[in-house]
Amino acid sequence: MRKGVRTSILAFTLICLLLTTSCGVRPENNLIEEIAPVIFWYVKKGENKNLKISTAVPPILKEKKQLFSLQVNLLKQGAKDFNLIYYREMKVGQLRMIFIDEQVAKKGIAKIVDSLLIDPDTSQRLFIVIVTGDFEGYLKKQMKDKENAEYYLYRMLKHYEDQNQGELTPINLHEYKKMLYTPYTDPYIPVFKADQQNFSYEGTAIFKKDTLVKTLTKMDDQVFQLVGTDNYLKYLAIPKLSVVLGRVHTAVDFNLNSSYSKLFIKVKMMGRLEDYQGENGMNDKNIEKMKSTIEAFMEERTKKLMKKMQHMHTDPFQIGTHTITPFGKTLTDKEWYKKWENMDIDVKYELQLGPLPRESK
Amino acid sequence: MKPISLFQKNMPIKAVTVFFISNRFQVIFFLLVFPQYIAHSYMIWFIIALGILSQGNLYILSKWISSSYSTKGYAGFIELFGEWKVRILTAVALLPILVKLSVLTINFVSTTRYYIFPSVNPSWLIFVFLLMSMYVAIRGMENTIRFSIIAFFTVIWIILLFLPFYFPPNAAWINLFPLTHSWSQQTWKGILFIWATLSGPEYLICLIPWLKQDQKIVKYMTWANIVTVLELLIVLIASLLFYGHHYLLLIKYPYIEMTRYLQNPIFERIDIVLIAFYLFHLVFMVSILLLILYGAMRIIFKKVSKETTRKGFLITCVITTALIIFLNQFLWTNERQYKTWMNIEVVMSGFTYLFIPSFLVICSKIKRRRR
Amino acid sequence: MFGKKRQAVDNRTTQTPVSLDGVKKSLTNMNDAQIDEHETISGIKVNLIYIKSLVDNERLNEAIVKPLIHDRSISVSEAIISSIKEKVYTLDEAKEALLNGHILLNEAVINEWWAIPLQSPLSRSIESSETESILYGAKDSFSEQIDQNITLIRRRLPIMELKSESFTIGSLSKTTVVLLYIEGLTNPDFITIAKEGINNIDYDFFTDSSQVSALMEKGNNSVFPQFQQTDRPDVCARALGIGQLIILVNNTPFALIAPVTLFDLFQSPEDYINRWVVASFLRVIRYVSFFLSIVLIPLYVALTTFHFQMIPLQMLFVLTESRSKLPFTPFWEAFIMLIILEIIKEASLRMPTKAGQTLGVIGGIVIGQASVEAGFASKVLIVLVGIAAIASFLVPNYLLTKANTLIQFILLFLASQLGVIGIAMGLIGILSHLNSLTSLKQPYLAPLAPLYMKDWKDVFIRGPIKTAKERPEYLKPLKKWRTSRRN
């Protein structure tokens, strides 16, 4: 009896050993001191048809940072080549941001994003950012001056992502993919401009499917933030009217008629007056007047923006989703875009300003 | 060496345990495999409808459970069919059990490999997981049945993690619409899959002798069914809200992918922890199935009257492990084979759930009438 | 004084009648044995036989010798009225009586023998419990004297139903073991199993109740105690009150409570003194900290070895930096630190109090900044080791605290092989082991598996006393209700 048990256990172990020793048994070595977790990639158009990808290593704060750049055909090839030139193995498990050059984005970014997504190590919360200008130069400069510049970039994006902070809308991988694959919606991604000194927010890049078609800046971007994405801006600056509104919330109501030939957008905007540099004094009477000026101005800008979108056959406002009802047939993607391009658009703003703490003459 | 008493009955197990066993048997398949043809809003209606239908089936099952044959266990079956037929039926039953065992294990292993250890040899993982299950199972049927409670409580809280997906900014209610859809072949597949998901309580037939005879068993099975349906609905609706129907179709493991999106101040990647927790669930399932398998082997080889032995159990486990490793290495290598196996499992478990309870009830009715 | 049922451990085949020669023979070479001959006034010759070191000499003179000598009655039995006396017939009874501190009184002429108990009251006073000290609540604790211990319990449960059955175990130590239970409340099955267990004990020497429990329990190889040891009479009385039974062992201050569950070991007497919300919170903290103390270090090893993706970015910077200078892998780093910690813990227990302070200082240096600077361990690990060590002390049961170190090592090894999956496997192993453990044949994870939902009021949390009207169902008490109205 005892012998039988022993033989069976032995046999079991042997069988399993035979089966298992053929290839590597141990899990991947991820000893944190032997790897270099990369927290961002920068993808740029290289020479010929290649891509040029860069990242900063090492991740340890107190070591001197280097910017590595490589010319590659494939994105993941870059990951491999980096390992061959650096003493720590690079891992993408902590990848937090991908910066894509505007030129690359204009050609389409679906493939880059897909190759990132295939790796189960990549987080869905990876931020996608479009950059213009000399981002490499900026990084090189920053690495000399600051200890971990790229980490602060991440913190900035994270800050604006959490609880809807206004100003800009960071887009992560999941959100981008969802917008890309959901009918009637087109993705948008924030755009940053880099030069030797600064890395500044530029506006929002509007995509048609996966290719960049237009970058909204300044006023257009503010309208887009208010109507299209966040419905919140910390500051709405209207230089033309010499006025700045603060803490602007909007409630947007898209109203489509039954044949989808007419769109009526009603925007209820609530905020407070932050700054006024105009000639009229700040009192209740003037404010009433100013309100209607702002309303008219916003209506005009919004309408213009919508027209632009129609012209470019793109719908980042996701207006098409308003055609969906719980029961009933839905339009196909093509049908919708056809209707969208020829739609009449009417915009109405209604501004509510909080009371002024004190008036001035 | 003392012979071990795998199937000994020390104290009858409380009827409430039925809830845990039956619920865990139902849910696991859905959690591991979330097929694309179920990723539609209108499947919500089918889940509810099939849940109700499953309730009817559970009622039939409870008829068998409360019959005099089932409480006698093996002797009852002999009385009903005669020894030869029982042995043949058991041999036939081996197939769905083995398929279930392999499908569950291999799916879990591939999930683990995909998310945690991409470079580990799958055979090795299969071996390790089965070894773990053996460790649990060797403590006897009674303890393993009770382990269901632990398996339940270590996993059930995970469903709470899906609540954030019901709120913006993650959720867009518009993604749930439209709730109707035209009928297609996909729909049939979906229905079959949901039915297969709801299957599992039929394995209670093998466990009845250990349970305390209680009128409440039906009640607990009903609750298990309700919880299962709720769980399926919560996950399905959350995934629809989060991904939207169109994007969801492209995702292979939405259940785990969703948890990855959650943020936690302590751990970044919750999915790794969750997979680790799901190991409790898997180990419980596999260990119960291993014990059932060993019991079946004993019936087939006419060893029921003899004492259970470590050797016999170990041999059963070794064969099972070898079989699963073999399947994984040679018959589970590409997407087509994967789909075939899934279909086999779906059809088989759907079939066993639908027909076994009624078959047994009808047989016992006929037998009684003949008397 | 105990129940009349005195059960003999070894089968005495010889039933030699007691005789003076026989007694004298068995007392040879015992310098503390004494045989006094006295004669009463009425002329009856009396032999007093006793062991000096075991009897109270003063009381012997006052209560026995004096009245005997001055006695005018015809029979000795009348002379000593007040004392409890038992008649002795066999030599073995005589020996046992002598060794238990009795005086043997022999009326020489008619050869009649009596045993009069006169043990010397050698015991320490009732002190407060050191192993389970609490701020509020009763302060008394058991001592080595079993009678005194029973008194402490009886005072708390002055009811006739509190039964105490005595057994003698140990061929050398002749230890008295007393089984306490409340008749009509404690499930008779437990009593039968316990009695069977005690009667089946066959061993020579007992120093502590833990040996009694070790010989009674099923899962000997388990690290989890299957009997709760306590030196608090209030805990014992409460346990009796809900339907558990107590085994008292002579010469140890630790009583055994059975059947217990794992969750019983997490309860402190203070739980029933604090406000229920506070008590519940503390109890949850206790469970959490037990879990942490097991899992924290293995998790560190798992994360730093395999799952760097799980570490928050900011944390990763700190970890990479502090780990990059270490010569050891995370497993060895953690292993070494834990071993050192165990050495320090063990040493501080054995040290005299004054030297203990020095030890504390040195220990603080070893597991602290110095070891980081020397490049033995990372800062993060030091913090985690500290947290885990402190967390492990939150469990009121010290035996469990010691057990979790071992569990930690097992998990540590598994974590170094398979990361988080390894830890999960370890936990599965532990839980399935706990699931199969029994205490007096009752499941060890009781209100959880098997499930008794009603008892959950007092398991993970401590519900308000007003709602806890029923005794725990898993103990299957004969009387369900704690309130008088319904029974």
Percent of chain C scored above 70 by pLDDT? Answer: 94
Average pLDDT, chain B: 86
Q: Is the pLDDT of residue A18 over 60?
A: no
Nearest Cα residue in chain B from A13: B318
Nearest to B146 among C421, C424, C435 (CB): C435
Per-residue confidence band for C11, with pLDDT thresholds at 50, 70 and 90 = very low
Percent of chain B scored above 90 by pLDDT? Answer: 23
Bridge partner list, A252: A267
Contact residues, chain B, for A25 at CB < 8 Å: 120-121, 124
In a domain, B361, yes or no: no
C313 to A151: CB separation less than 8 angstroms, yes or no: yes
pLDDT in tens, A341-355: 888 888 888 888 877
Q: What are the Cα distances from residue C475, in Å, to C144, C154, C213, C214, C294?
A: 29, 22, 19, 22, 29
Per-residue confidence band for C6, with pLDDT thresholds at 50, 70 and 90 = very low
A37 to C418: CB separation less than 8 angstroms, yes or no: no
Contact residues, chain B, for A124 at CB < 8 Å: 257, 260-261
**Cα–Cα distance, A226 to A268 (Å, whole number):** 10
Nearest Cα residue in chain C from B153: C448
Q: Which chains contact B through at least 3 pairs of Cβ atoms less than 8 Å apart?
A: A, C
Nearest Cα residue in chain C from A26: C417
The residue assigned the tokens 């070191």 is C53
Q: What are the Cα distances from residue A300, in Å, to A203, A219, A244, A304, B271?
A: 20, 12, 18, 6, 48
Q: Is the pLDDT of residue C198 over 70?
A: yes
**Cα–Cα distance, C199 to A343 (Å, whole number):** 94
Q: What is the DSSP string of C237-297?
A: HHHHHHT-EEEEETT-S-EEEES--GGGGG--GGGGTS-HHHHHHHHHHHHHHHHHHHHHH
Nearest Cα residue in chain B from C424: B276
Nearest to C432 among B135, B269, B277 (CB): B135
Q: Is the peptide bond before C450 cis (omega within 30 degrees of 0)?
A: yes
pLDDT in tens, A280-292: 777 777 777 888 8
Contact residues, chain B, for C441 at CB < 8 Å: 10
Q: Which chains contact C through at least 3 pairs of Cβ atoms less than 8 Å apart?
A: A, B
Q: Which range is most confident: A265-279, C319-333, C351-365?
A: C319-333
In a domain, B12, yes or no: no
pLDDT in tens, B43-98: 888 899 999 999 999 999 888 888 888 878 788 888 888 888 889 989 998 999 99
Q: What is the CA radius of gyration of chain B?
A: 21
Domains of chain A: 32-216 (no CATH), 231-322+330-361 (3.30.300.210)
Distance in Å from the first CA to the final CA of chain C: 32
User: Mutation test of the interface with chain A: which of B41, B311, B320, choosing the one with the most A Cβ atoms within 10 A?
Assistant: B311
> How many structural domains is chain B composed of?
1
In a domain, B297, yes or no: yes
Interface check for C323 against chain A (CB to CB < 8 A): the answer is yes
Nearest Cα residue in chain B from C423: B276
C313 to A94: CB separation less than 8 angstroms, yes or no: yes
Contact residues, chain B, for C474 at CB < 8 Å: none
Interface check for B23 against chain C (CB to CB < 8 A): the answer is no
- Residues C426/C317, Cβ–Cβ less than 8 Å: no
Q: Is the pLDDT of residue C439 over 50?
A: yes
Average pLDDT, chain C: 85
Per-residue confidence band for B133, with pLDDT thresholds at 50, 70 and 90 = very high
In a domain, B181, yes or no: yes
- Residues B186/B37, Cβ–Cβ less than 8 Å: yes
Confidence at residue C4, expressed as pLDDT on a 0 to 100 scale: 38
**Cα–Cα distance, C44 to C49 (Å, whole number):** 16
SS3 category, B83: helix
Nearest to A181 among B1, B176, B247 (CB): B247
Confidence at residue C289, expressed as pLDDT on a 0 to 100 scale: 92
C329 to A121: CB separation less than 8 angstroms, yes or no: no
Confidence at residue C14, expressed as pLDDT on a 0 to 100 scale: 56
pLDDT in tens, A183-226: 888 888 888 888 888 888 888 888 888 888 888 888 888 888 88
Mean pLDDT, range C266-288, rounded to an integer: 90
Per-residue confidence band for A62, with pLDDT thresholds at 50, 70 and 90 = low
Q: Is the pLDDT of residue C10 over 50?
A: no
**Nearest CA of chain B to the CA of A19: how many Å?**
7
Contact residues, chain A, for C329 at CB < 8 Å: 31
Q: Is the pLDDT of residue C40 over 90?
A: no
pLDDT in tens, B287-325: 999 999 998 988 888 888 888 788 888 888 889 999 999
Confidence at residue C188, expressed as pLDDT on a 0 to 100 scale: 92
- Which amino acid is located at B318 in the chain? V
Per-residue confidence band for C278, with pLDDT thresholds at 50, 70 and 90 = very high
Confidence at residue B257, expressed as pLDDT on a 0 to 100 scale: 84
Describe the crossing of helices C276-305 and C330-350 by its angle, rounded to 10 degrees.
140
Instruction: Quote the strand ranges of C40-161, DSSP E.
Output: 45-51, 86-87, 102-107, 112-117
More confident residue, B2 or C266: C266
Residue in A138, A215, A126 with CA at minimum distance from that of residue A171: A126
A93 to C308: CB separation less than 8 angstroms, yes or no: yes
**Nearest CA of chain C to the CA of B140: how many Å?**
9
User: Mutation test of the interface with chain C: which of A28, A33, A121, choosing the one with the most C Cβ atoms within 10 A?
Assistant: A33
**Nearest CA of chain C to the CA of A3: how many Å?**
23
Q: What are the Cα distances from residue C285, in Å, to A181, B154, C280, C395, C411?
A: 46, 18, 9, 10, 21
Confidence at residue A295, expressed as pLDDT on a 0 to 100 scale: 85
C:413-452 residues touching chain A, CB 8 A cutoff = 418-419
B:284-303 residues touching chain C, CB 8 A cutoff = none
Mean pLDDT, range C451-478, rounded to an integer: 88
Interface check for B72 against chain C (CB to CB < 8 A): the answer is no
Percent of chain A scored above 70 by pLDDT? Answer: 84
Confidence at residue C248, expressed as pLDDT on a 0 to 100 scale: 93
Task: Supply the range of the domain harboring residue B84.
Answer: 17-355
Contact residues, chain A, for B111 at CB < 8 Å: none
Q: What is the DSSP string of A138-156?
A: HHHHHHHHSS-HHHHHHHH
In a domain, B118, yes or no: yes
Q: How many CA atoms lie within 13 A of A32 on its CB side?
A: 32
Confidence at residue A108, expressed as pLDDT on a 0 to 100 scale: 81
Contact residues, chain A, for C305 at CB < 8 Å: 29-31
Confidence at residue B183, expressed as pLDDT on a 0 to 100 scale: 77
C450 to B14: CB separation less than 8 angstroms, yes or no: yes
pLDDT in tens, C248-276: 998 899 999 989 999 988 888 888 888 99
More confident residue, B16 or B184: B16
Confidence at residue C7, expressed as pLDDT on a 0 to 100 scale: 45
C448 to B153: CB separation less than 8 angstroms, yes or no: yes
Torsion sign across C-alpha atoms C304, C307, C312, C317: positive
Mean pLDDT, range C189-209, rounded to an integer: 90
Interface check for B116 against chain C (CB to CB < 8 A): the answer is yes
**Cα–Cα distance, C217 to C194 (Å, whole number):** 10
A32 to C320: CB separation less than 8 angstroms, yes or no: yes
Per-residue confidence band for A22, with pLDDT thresholds at 50, 70 and 90 = very low
Confidence at residue A304, expressed as pLDDT on a 0 to 100 scale: 85
Residues 6+ apart with CB under 8 A from C146: C176, C178, C248, C249, C250, C251
Mean pLDDT, range B243-254, rounded to an integer: 83
Report which secondary-structure segment, H or E, holds C460: none
Say how many C-beta atoms besides its own lie within 10 A of residue C243's C-beta: 23
Contact residues, chain A, for C306 at CB < 8 Å: 27-28, 30
Residues 6+ apart with CB under 8 A from C467: C457
- Residues B254/B239, Cβ–Cβ less than 8 Å: yes
Mean pLDDT, range C384-407, rounded to an integer: 87
C:245-304 residues touching chain A, CB 8 A cutoff = 304
In a domain, B313, yes or no: yes
User: Mutation test of the interface with chain A: which of B2, B247, B274, choosing the one with the most A Cβ atoms within 10 A?
Assistant: B247
**Cα–Cα distance, B146 to B154 (Å, whole number):** 13
Nearest to A28 among B118, B269, B314 (CB): B118
**Cα–Cα distance, C120 to C103 (Å, whole number):** 11
More confident residue, C193 or C397: C193
**Nearest CA of chain B to the CA of C88: how many Å?**
46
Confidence at residue A58, expressed as pLDDT on a 0 to 100 scale: 66
- Residues A316/A207, Cβ–Cβ less than 8 Å: yes
Indicate which CATH number applies to the domain containing B115. Answer: 1.20.1740.10
Confidence at residue C8, expressed as pLDDT on a 0 to 100 scale: 44
In a domain, B5, yes or no: no
SS3 category, B183: coil
Least confidently predicted of A324-338, B87-101, B116-130, B185-199: A324-338
Confidence at residue C31, expressed as pLDDT on a 0 to 100 scale: 84
C313 to A60: CB separation less than 8 angstroms, yes or no: no
Whether ipTM tops 0.90, in short, is yes
In a domain, B218, yes or no: yes
C307 to B272: CB separation less than 8 angstroms, yes or no: yes
- Residues B140/B8, Cβ–Cβ less than 8 Å: yes
Q: What is the DSSP string of C347-368?
A: HHHHS-HHHHHHHHHHHHHHTS
Interface check for C334 against chain A (CB to CB < 8 A): the answer is no
pLDDT in tens, B327-361: 988 888 888 888 888 889 899 999 999 998 899 88
A60 to C304: CB separation less than 8 angstroms, yes or no: no
